[in-house]
């Protein structure tokens, strides 16, 4: 794809955003219901395209965690279509008056939510992101440019073709949803310079992609999708229940960003709890990486020394780090050194300690006696999400419809002068 073609895409997306920006809620919901229906009807060709992508990725040696992200089974496609229908039921933020005031002299001011315009999303082997992001953008009145990984090329082409067909059937610009399927990586850099047409960039991928976007973009970037998540097991925690939470946080779906990567264990229960954790989670295939403080509590051969790099990184597998701390403040110190602001959790029966942890953990979502796996737009009642932001501006945590809007000030006067 030539750079000129990318400019054309940007221009077309900007023009499409003007048409979407004036659509009322009923029209947008009708569009989304039609997309959900069309996705179900196109299950055969979509899944066939995905099978080709998965087979090629497997032949190229893709890791199992990434293969799991890439896979789009009929069941997952049905769930994606159902998520589109959930977006229909969500309140439309566009046009909502946030606040206002009478400024005197016959001048009234209101602050109203409006679409961002054009959103670009750069992601890897996650075909569900293609639909989640596109439909959320459409509901919020935005056009979207999607740049998935080369591993999802066929799947994304099939999904985007369905959505563009539905847009055309509703007499809306097809270019409200566009995809860059050319694997040329230089196009990512070109996309990041389309500040005349693109209003926000959301990279959903590894640390390298996020760093590249942050360093090279002329457009505001929302960072997210990387979760170095911790669970602190306090001395007062109910141990059998804690093991169930750890199972959910690590084993249910280890390849996602809200799975736990490091378990922090209070020194007062380490001798009892760590062997119980090894027996329970080890039977489920979990592999343990212990710090020097935790290693004495492991039986020989049940853990390997953890590396500094691992403490800073996502495993996205059935591996987990274990560290022993004297108390809550030391747990928070560790989290501040190694966490990235995604999800942090504490398991405790002491509400004073829970309050200390909640106040001290700097993350988009903090959980008390609950799994980090709950950090998800659907679980939070936002519907699908465009990302889980680890930043503080302009959104934090799961980014739903509100995060895909901005606002404008509207002043109504009577030929009023200052």
The larger pLDDT score, comparing residue 327 to residue 224, is at 327
Region(s) of the chain under CATH 3.40.309.10 = 229-374
What DSSP state is assigned to residue 120?
A: E
Band of the pLDDT at 105, cuts 50, 70, 90? confident
Band of the pLDDT at 2, cuts 50, 70, 90? low
- How do strand 365-368 and strand 260-266 relate by DSSP bridges? unpaired
Band of the pLDDT at 3, cuts 50, 70, 90? low
Q: CA-CA distance, 47 to 126, in Å (whole number)?
A: 14
How much of the chain exceeds pLDDT 70, in percent? 99
Q: Is the peptide bond before 394 cis (omega within 30 degrees of 0)?
A: yes
What would the mean pLDDT of 95-106 be, rounded to a whole number? Answer: 92
pLDDT at residue 44 greater than cutoff 90: yes
Query: Tokens 């199972």 sit at which residue?
Result: 247
How much of the chain exceeds pLDDT 90, in percent? 82
Query: 387 phi and psi, to 5 degrees?
Result: 180, 170
Centre a 10 Å sphere on the Cβ of residue 381 and count the other Cβ atoms it contains: 10
pLDDT at residue 169 greater than cutoff 70: yes
Superfamily of domain 3-222+399-412: Aldehyde Dehydrogenase; Chain A, domain 1 (3.40.605.10)
Lowest mean pLDDT among 1-10, 78-87, 215-224, 336-345: 1-10
Tens-place pLDDT, residues 280-338: 999 999 999 999 999 999 999 999 999 999 999 999 899 999 999 999 999 999 999 99
User: Taking a C-beta distance cutoff of 8 angstroms, is the pair 343, 255 a contact?
Assistant: no
pLDDT value at residue 229: 97
Region(s) of the chain under CATH 3.40.605.10 = 3-222+399-412
pLDDT value at residue 34: 98
Average of per-residue pLDDT values in the chain: 94
Closest to 89 measured CA to CA, from 128, 139, 159, 24: 139
pLDDT at residue 208 greater than cutoff 90: no
pLDDT at residue 279 greater than cutoff 60: yes
Architecture of domain 229-374: 3-Layer(aba) Sandwich (3.40)
pLDDT value at residue 1: 54
What would the mean pLDDT of 203-216 be, rounded to a whole number? Answer: 88
């Amino acid at each position: 794809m030539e750079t000129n073609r990318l400019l054309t895409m940007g221009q077309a997306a900007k023009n499409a955003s003007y048409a979407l920006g004036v659509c009322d809620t009923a029209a947008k919901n009708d569009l989304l219901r039609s997309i959900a229906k069309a996705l179900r009807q196109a299950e055969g060709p979509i899944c066939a395209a995905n099978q080709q992508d998965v087979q090629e990725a497997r032949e190229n040696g893709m890791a199992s965690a990434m293969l799991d992200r890439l896979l789009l089974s009929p069941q997952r496609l049905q769930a994606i279509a159902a998520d589109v229908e959930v977006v229909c039921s969500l309140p439309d933020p566009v046009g909502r008056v946030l606040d206002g005031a009478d400024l005197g002299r016959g001048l009234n001011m209101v602050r109203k939510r409006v679409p961002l315009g054009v959103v670009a999303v750069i992601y890897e082997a996650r075909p569900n992101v293609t639909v989640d992001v596109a439909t959320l953008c459409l509901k919020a009145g935005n056009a979207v440019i999607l740049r998935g990984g080369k591993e999802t090329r066929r799947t994304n082409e099939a999904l985007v073709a369905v959505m563009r067909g539905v847009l055309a059937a509703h007499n809306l610009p097809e270019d409200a949803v566009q995809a860059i399927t050319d694997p040329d990586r230089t196009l990512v850099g070109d996309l990041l310079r389309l500040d005349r047409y693109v209003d926000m960039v959301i990279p959903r991928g590894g640390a390298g992609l996020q760093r590249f976007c942050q360093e090279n973009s002329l457009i505001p970037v929302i960072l997210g999708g990387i979760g170095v998540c911790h669970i602190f097991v306090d001395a007062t925690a109910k141990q059998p229940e804690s093991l169930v939470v750890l199972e959910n946080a690590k084993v249910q779906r280890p390849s996602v960003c809200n799975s736990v990567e490091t378990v922090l264990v209070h020194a007062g229960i380490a001798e009892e709890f760590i062997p119980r954790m090894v027996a329970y989670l080890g039977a489920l295939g979990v592999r343990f990486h212990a710090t020097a403080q935790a290693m004495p509590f492991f039986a020989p051969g049940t853990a390997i020394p953890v590396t500094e790099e691992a403490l800073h990184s996502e495993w996205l597998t059935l591996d987990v780090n274990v560290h022993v701390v004297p108390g809550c403040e030391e747990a928070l110190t560790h989290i501040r050194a190694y966490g990235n602001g995604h999800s942090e959790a504490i398991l405790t029966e002491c509400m004073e300690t829970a309050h200390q942890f909640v106040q001290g953990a700097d993350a988009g979502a903090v959980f008390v006696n609950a799994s980090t796996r709950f950090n998800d737009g659907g679980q939070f009642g936002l519907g699908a999400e465009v990302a889980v932001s680890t930043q503080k501006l302009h959104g934090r945590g799961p980014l739903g419809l509100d995060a895909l809007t901005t606002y404008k000030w509207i002043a109504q006067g009577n030929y009023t002068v200052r």
